[in-house]
């Protein structure tokens, strides 16, 4: 008999060779029915997700995962991509399939087909998927040799290429009804686990993302365990369309994009107001926390990027230029420049920690197909900081950064965020000992600050592990913005030192961190979070003065002048239009406050305030209004009260 230890559920003795599902069913049929997959502990202590059909031949520790677990929803979406491929194969037998992964909020599958697939073609595919789901087909995993796999997929060049790229002698395939796919899994136990799904769109995608390869058809979809979750998700999508920062940015004349510079944003006057408000607040917080601001060149010698490791690990995303016959690169990151500032003089242990902050303009070559408004651009401003510290100062510095992150997010209206510890990637620099130490230090800091976190294996920077902060917006979407990266490797590569108390040279530790991430992207997130209705302190136009008719023009001009003198961003609508039309225009312009001026206001020397969020304040004196404005803006309130 073998022993299966189930987290939070005790031990089960079982015969060798039974599946996890069979073992759990013998103990508790209801639990087995609810479970989606299992996380098993391997002999080296690492964790692995497996199907419930996984055969248990040894003593094993594991954790069951249920619909509420994020990994379960990812698996459901991955499995639904297979169901979609099976449906496409039924309708279009000549289709050749490439890859079909789960992605954030859904899945896609790429395939080659000598036909045009339009949105109208999605309905028949959905209907065929429903038949497959109701048939309750099992996802059957089989391990076969690569040669056997090549025979199965002999007519599919994409699968053959994938098989050749697998180092192991054996590969895994999954059978779902009469559909067979090359896949490492895991999958749901049967198609009936799909409670609800929707195919969302059709697009083109180059094989392996390389524009020199064949263009394939890509169908996107999403799946959930129940219809209510799907309904809520589709409603969020509709709300997101109305909040699209690209449309709002254009409508409000904040920024624009032009064919003469694809992927490079042009900031308009109102957009610059938002940028400068955010940057002014950023500077204030950094000064309060002991940072010194620096600025480093946009263009630096290629040799520097060889030393930093970016040449070997990042050059495909970089732009290059020749100056006086020598090779230079436009910086994709700010860290080497900060290191050169540090190296410009000898430092003593008494100076630490040294905190350099930089609003650094960086350039990264993004493929045209992934450019997306302010969310994916080719140049952006990172709110960077590089901290040089002693080992014993690390926890305090990381704690200080965590507190800054929490404060800044809260000010901008993001109260909810979660944390991930991203560990060493396969493509990295530095010794394993360095990585062990860096990962341990970050994990200790997370625990000391009582943060709930999860491990994101293999997603660290090439020079060090990192803590990533994911904020949640009003549409329940998450955005990775802030990051804290701990780096023992770069100080080694650049040979940076300080004089210790013993008068000998020592190596400092380096922290890389951003809070907003990219100023451009953060503005895009802000716009979508508020659907363009930015808080009063950020709004490019704070107040619109709306005289009911030109009889009240002089009084309106006086009110305008007083508010302008107090430093408020105010506009006056002198058009010969009805008040309703003026109000409508101010609402479309996302102006938080409207000052209505008519006969009563002029006679009493007061104003009426109309809040875009709803509600009026009548017969208020201008002085009192200014006091309310001042208190609201100084406290950076999310909503005008």
Instruction: Note the pLDDT of residue 123.
Output: 95
Is residue 321, in this structure, part of any structural domain at all? Answer: no
Range ranked top by mean pLDDT from 3-17, 232-246, 274-288, 600-614: 274-288
Residues 76 and 211 both lie in one domain: yes
- Tell the residue number behind the tokens 């391997």, with chain if given: 42
Q: How far apart are CA 311 and CA 314, in angstroms?
A: 6
Q: Give 387's strand partners.
A: 355, 511
With a cut of 80, say whether residue 3 has pLDDT above it: no
Instruction: Note the pLDDT of residue 616.
Output: 84
Instruction: Note the pLDDT of residue 173.
Output: 95
CATH number of the domain within which 558 lies: 3.40.50.800
Of 378, 466, 513, 612, which one is the catalytic site residue?
A: 466
Is residue 241, in this structure, part of any structural domain at all? Answer: no
Residues 474 and 617 both lie in one domain: no
Residues 151 and 20 both lie in one domain: no
Residues 458 and 586 both lie in one domain: no
Is residue 506, in this structure, part of any structural domain at all? Answer: yes
Residues 601 and 553 both lie in one domain: yes
- Catalytic annotation present for 350: no
pTM (global) more than 0.85: no
Of 386, 428, 521, 582, which one is the catalytic site residue?
A: 386
- Stretch (H or E) spanning 39: strand 37-41
Instruction: Note the pLDDT of residue 155.
Output: 93
Instruction: Note the pLDDT of residue 41.
Output: 82
Give the tokens for residue 276.
Answer: 């400068």
**At 22, is the pLDDT very low, low, confident or very high (cuts 50, 70, 90)?**
confident
Residues 262 and 218 both lie in one domain: no
Q: How far apart are CA 317 and CA 268, in angstroms?
A: 27
Instruction: Output the CA–CA distances (angstroms, integers) from residue 350 to 346, 347, 353, 391, 495, in the order listed.
Output: 12, 8, 8, 14, 19
The predicted-structure confidence for 559-601, as pLDDT tens digits, reads as follows: 999 999 999 999 999 998 999 999 999 999 999 999 999 999 9
Instruction: Note the pLDDT of residue 518.
Output: 94
Q: How far apart are CA 623 and CA 47, in angstroms?
A: 64
Across 503-510, average pLDDT: 94
Helices (H), 48-177: 70-91, 122-134, 146-152, 157-164
Domain boundary residue, one of 529, 553, 574:
529
Residues 420 and 486 both lie in one domain: yes
The predicted-structure confidence for 457-491, as pLDDT tens digits, reads as follows: 888 888 888 999 999 888 888 898 999 998 888 89
Instruction: Note the pLDDT of residue 322.
Output: 94
- Catalytic annotation present for 335: yes
Is residue 337, in this structure, part of any structural domain at all? Answer: yes
Q: Strands 543-547, 593-597: parallel, antiparallel or unpaired by DSSP?
A: parallel
Domain boundary residue, one of 529, 556, 588:
529
Across 312-329, average pLDDT: 90
- Catalytic annotation present for 382: yes
Helix and strand numbers (H, E) in the chain are: 20, 35
Residues 346 and 467 both lie in one domain: yes
CATH number of the domain within which 61 lies: 3.10.20.30
- The answer to which of 30-34, 153-157, 174-178, 180-184 has the lowest mean pLDDT is 30-34
Q: How far apart are CA 386 and CA 335, in angstroms?
A: 7
Instruction: Note the pLDDT of residue 20.
Output: 85
- Catalytic annotation present for 466: yes
Of 364, 378, 441, 582, which one is the catalytic site residue?
A: 364
- In angstroms, the first-to-last Cα distance of the chain is 68
Residues 378 and 506 both lie in one domain: yes
- Catalytic annotation present for 386: yes
Of 512, 590, 610, 612, which one is the catalytic site residue?
A: 512
Residues 510 and 447 both lie in one domain: yes
Residues 20 and 107 both lie in one domain: no
Q: Which are the contacts of 145, defined by CB distance < 8 A and separation ≥ 6?
A: 169, 170, 171
Instruction: Note the pLDDT of residue 9.
Output: 67
Of 384, 468, 473, 487, which one is the catalytic site residue?
A: 384
Kindly state the percentage of the chain with pLDDT values over 70: 99
- Catalytic annotation present for 245: no
Is residue 174, in this structure, part of any structural domain at all? Answer: yes
- Tell the residue number behind the tokens 């993302």, with chain if given: 209
3-state helix, strand, coil in the chain (%, to 5): 40, 30, 30
The predicted-structure confidence for 262-317, as pLDDT tens digits, reads as follows: 999 999 999 999 999 999 999 999 999 999 999 999 999 999 999 988 888 888 88
With a cut of 70, say whether residue 1 has pLDDT above it: no
The predicted-structure confidence for 83-120, as pLDDT tens digits, reads as follows: 999 999 999 999 999 999 999 889 999 999 999 999 99
Of 245, 335, 468, 573, which one is the catalytic site residue?
A: 335
Instruction: Note the pLDDT of residue 209.
Output: 80
CATH number of the domain within which 194 lies: 3.30.980.10
Is residue 145, in this structure, part of any structural domain at all? Answer: yes
Q: Strands 453-456, 37-41: parallel, antiparallel or unpaired by DSSP?
A: unpaired
Is residue 111, in this structure, part of any structural domain at all? Answer: yes
Task: Identify whether the C-beta of residue 485 lies closer than 8 Å to the C-beta of residue 432.
Answer: no
Strands (E) in 260-398, as ranges, are 266-267, 292-293, 299-301, 319-323, 326-330, 354-363, 379-389
- From the list 191, 194, 149, 184, the residue with the least C-alpha distance to 54 is 184
Residue environment code for 276-303, b if the CB has 16+ CB neighbours within 10 A, otherwise e? ebbbebbeeebeeeebeebebebebebe
Structural domains in the chain (count) = 4
CATH number of the domain within which 385 lies: 3.30.930.10
Instruction: Note the pLDDT of residue 8.
Output: 67
Residues 523 and 550 both lie in one domain: no
Is residue 237, in this structure, part of any structural domain at all? Answer: no
With a cut of 70, say whether residue 242 has pLDDT above it: yes
- What's the domain range around 13? 2-66
- From the list 611, 590, 595, 587, the residue with the least C-alpha distance to 558 is 595
Instruction: Note the pLDDT of residue 458.
Output: 85
C-alpha dihedral over 362, 366, 371, 374, to 10 degrees?
Answer: -10
The predicted-structure confidence for 371-412, as pLDDT tens digits, reads as follows: 899 999 999 999 999 999 998 999 999 999 999 999 999 999
Instruction: Note the pLDDT of residue 523.
Output: 97
């Amino acid at each position: 008999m073998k022993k299966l230890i189930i987290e939070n559920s005790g031990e089960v003795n079982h015969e060798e060779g039974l599946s996890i599902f069979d073992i759990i069913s013998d103990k508790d049929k209801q639990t087995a029915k609810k479970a989606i997959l299992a996380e098993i502990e391997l002999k080296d202590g690492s964790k692995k997700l497996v199907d419930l059909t996984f055969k248990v031949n040894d003593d094993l520790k594991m954790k069951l995962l249920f619909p509420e677990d994020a990994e379960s929803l990812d698996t459901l979406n991955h499995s639904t991509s297979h169901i979609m491929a099976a449906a496409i194969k039924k309708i279009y037998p000549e289709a050749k399939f490439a890859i079909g992964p789960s992605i954030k909020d859904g899945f896609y599958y790429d395939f080659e087909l000598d036909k045009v697939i339009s949105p109208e073609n999605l309905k028949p595919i959905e209907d065929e998927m429903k038949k497959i789901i109701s048939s309750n087909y099992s996802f059957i995993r089989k391990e076969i040799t690569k040669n056997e796999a090549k025979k199965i997929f002999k007519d599919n060049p994409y699968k053959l290429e994938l098989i050749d790229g697998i180092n192991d002698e054996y590969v895994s395939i999954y059978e779902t009804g009469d559909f067979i796919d090359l896949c490492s899994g895991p999958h749901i136990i049967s198609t009936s686990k799909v409670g609800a799904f929707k195919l969302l769109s059709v697009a083109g995608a180059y094989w392996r993302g390389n524009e020199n390869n064949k263009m394939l058809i890509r169908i996107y979809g999403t799946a959930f365990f129940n219809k209510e979750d799907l309904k809520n998700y589709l409603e969020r999508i509709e709300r997101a369309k109305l909040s699209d920062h690209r449309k709002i940015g254009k409508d409000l004349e904040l920024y624009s994009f032009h064919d003469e510079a694809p992927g490079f944003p042009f900031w308009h006057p109102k957009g610059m107001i938002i940028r400068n408000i955010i940057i002014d607040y950023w500077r204030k917080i950094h000064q309060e926390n002991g940072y010194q601001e620096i600025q480093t060149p946009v263009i630096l010698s290629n040799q520097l990027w060889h030393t930093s490791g970016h040449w070997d690990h990042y050059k495909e995303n970089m732009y290059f230029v020749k100056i006086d016959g020598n090779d230079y690169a436009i910086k994709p990151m700010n860290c080497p420049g900060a290191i050169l500032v540090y190296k410009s003089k000898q430092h003593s242990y008494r100076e630490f920690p040294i905190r350099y902050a930089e609003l650094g303009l960086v350039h990264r070559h993004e493929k045209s197909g992934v450019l997306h408004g302010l969310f994916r651009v080719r140049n952006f401003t990172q709110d960077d900081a590089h901290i040089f510290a002693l080992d014993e100062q690390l926890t305090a510095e990381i704690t200080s950064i965590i507190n800054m992150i929490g404060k800044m997010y809260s000010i901008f209206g993001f109260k909810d965020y979660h944390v991930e510890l991203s560990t060493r990637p396969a493509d990295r620099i530095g010794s394993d000992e360095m990585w062990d130490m860096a990962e341990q230090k970050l994990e200790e800091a997370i625990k000391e600050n009582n943060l709930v976190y999860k491990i994101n294996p293999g997603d660290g920077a090439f020079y060090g592990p990192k803590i990533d902060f994911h904020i949640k917006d009003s549409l329940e979407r998450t955005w990775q913005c802030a990051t804290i990266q701990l780096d023992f490797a770069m100080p080694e590569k650049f040979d940076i030192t300080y004089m210790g108390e013993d008068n000998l040279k020592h190596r400092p530790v380096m922290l890389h961190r951003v809070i907003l991430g990219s100023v451009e992207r953060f503005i895009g997130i802000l716009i979508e979070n508020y659907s363009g209705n930015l808080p009063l302190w950020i709004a490019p136009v704070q107040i619109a003065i709306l005289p009911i008719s030109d009889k009240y023009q002089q009084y309106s001009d006086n009110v305008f002048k007083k508010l302008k003198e107090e430093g408020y961003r105010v506009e006056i609508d002198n058009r010969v239009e009805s008040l309703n039309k003026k109000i409508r225009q101010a609402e479309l312009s996302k102006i938080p406050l409207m000052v209505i001026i008519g006969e009563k206001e002029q006679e009493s020397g007061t104003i009426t305030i109309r809040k875009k969020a709803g509600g009026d304040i009548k017969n208020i004196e201008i002085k009192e209004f200014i006091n309310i404005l001042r208190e609201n803006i100084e406290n950076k309130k999310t909503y005008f009260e």
